[in-house]
Amino acid sequence: MNYTSPFWLPGGHLQTIWAALYARRGHGPRPQFRRERWDTPDGDFIDVDWLQDAPGQTLLVLFHGLEGSSESQYAQAFAGFARQQGLAYAVPHFRGCSGELNRAPRAYHSGDWQEIDWILRQLRSRHPGPIVALGISLGGNALLRWAAELGDAAASVVSAVASVCSPLDLAAGGHAIGRGFNRQVYTRMFLRSMKPKALAKWHQHPGLFDREALLRTRDLYEFDNLFTAPLHGFKSTDDYWARASAKPHLHRIRIPALALNARNDPFVPAGSLPRPGEVGQWVTLWQPAQGGHVGFPAGRWPGHVCSMPEAVGTWLLQAAGLKEQAHG
């Protein structure tokens, strides 16, 4: 991806924050989603938002990031790409992220590849056309973790995958977001929604974790140690970050995969990014100097966030051999 940031948006923080809050999300009308609720095997549910779906179309699936949804700026921008290319488009919500508390004594996490597997297989059974999938930040790490776990078998489910600004080394990303400006701005932003959800989960399942200790948490390391890790079978935050990270497993991927990371991403240190020799022949690395965290704003004031979805979406279709079909 040949990305150059607008001169009036220098630096990773501005490119991140402006893209999320102020840049235009698309060039056409706001997408109107249709929601489906799927019951899960463990008695819970997930909500899937559809832009459009026809059996013969290629289906683009987007897995959102931490506390994201179909309302996130990147989900809206990819909706515009899907509409332009004539693709079906689906945004599955991780548990608790669709606006309603889920039922089970669990939530979601960065290595939730089993959930990804169940969702993609449900989509495969319902949609006879080709499928390509991408994940944003947390969702991208989980998606690449899935592709690595399945190896050759992933090709029977999807044709290609991509991750965008994913912390593929979760420890490096987790420590980075817990320091300095990141801690004051981004950590507080995430905890503002994550802690109330966790407390609602405690009321739903009293005694699930140490409520008073969670109220005192001030960063994601502490939160993951008390909530995310134990609820999902990990011994601690360190165990969770080590076992859930996709980076050590990228060489096991056997379908076309793209990992896009800006080198000025405030959440993902450039030194933690995978190098070509670490990923194997199936994985393509895009590591532009600029872009921020899921930012990549472009154009004249106030800018837009359509360039990244166009580049990533086009790569997915070409890697899957579907580019001509999408236009036709």
Residue 245 has pLDDT above 90, yes or no: yes
Verify that 240 and 255 share a domain, yes or no: no
Q: Which two tokens stand for residue 24?
A: 């235009």
Verify that 161 and 115 share a domain, yes or no: yes
Instruction: Determine the longest span between alpha carbons in the chain, in angstroms.
Output: 58
Who contacts 234 (Cβ-Cβ below 8 Å, separation ≥6)? 228, 240, 243, 244
Which of 64, 109, 127, 293 is catalytic? The answer is 293
**Residue at a domain's end among 214, 244, 274:** 244
E runs forming strands in the chain? 34-39, 45-52, 59-63, 88-92, 131-136, 160-164, 257-260, 283-286
In angstroms, the CA 324 to CA 328 distance is 6
The type of residue at 173 is G
In angstroms, the CA 219 to CA 189 distance is 11
Residue 2 lies in a domain: no
Number of domain units in the chain: 2
CATH number, residue 31: 3.40.50.1820
Domain that holds residue 215: 171-244
**Residue at a domain's end among 192, 216, 244:** 244
- Range 261-274 burial, b when 16+ CB lie within 10 A, else e: bbebbbbbeeebbb
Verify that 63 and 124 share a domain, yes or no: yes
Verify that 164 and 97 share a domain, yes or no: yes
The type of residue at 86 is G
Give the rounded distance of the alpha carbon of 24 from its chain centre. 20
Verify that 55 and 187 share a domain, yes or no: no
Residue 189 lies in a domain: yes
Is 238 among the residues known to form the active site?
Answer: no
* Band of pLDDT at residue 159, cut at 50, 70 and 90: very high
Is 5 among the residues known to form the active site?
Answer: no
Q: How many CB atoms neighbour CB 216 within 10 A? A: 9
Residue 49 lies in a domain: yes
* Band of pLDDT at residue 55, cut at 50, 70 and 90: low
Residue 176 lies in a domain: yes
Residue 137 has pLDDT above 90, yes or no: yes
Verify that 27 and 143 share a domain, yes or no: yes
Residue 27 has pLDDT above 70, yes or no: yes
E runs forming strands in 181-226? none
In angstroms, the CA 275 to CA 204 distance is 44
Residue 5 lies in a domain: no
Which of 5, 137, 166, 307 is catalytic? The answer is 137
pTM (two decimals) = 0.96
Which of 249, 265, 304, 307 is catalytic? The answer is 265
Verify that 208 and 277 share a domain, yes or no: no
The fraction of the chain above a pLDDT of 70, given in percent, is 97
pLDDT digits (tens, 9 = 90+) for 256-301: 999 999 999 999 999 999 999 999 899 999 999 999 999 999 999 9
The fraction of the chain above a pLDDT of 90, given in percent, is 93
Verify that 98 and 44 share a domain, yes or no: yes
Is 304 among the residues known to form the active site?
Answer: no
- Which three-class secondary structure state does DSSP give residue 40? coil
In angstroms, the CA 328 to CA 326 distance is 6
Residue 184 lies in a domain: yes
Residue 45 lies in a domain: yes
Specify the pairing of strand 45-52 against strand 34-39.
antiparallel
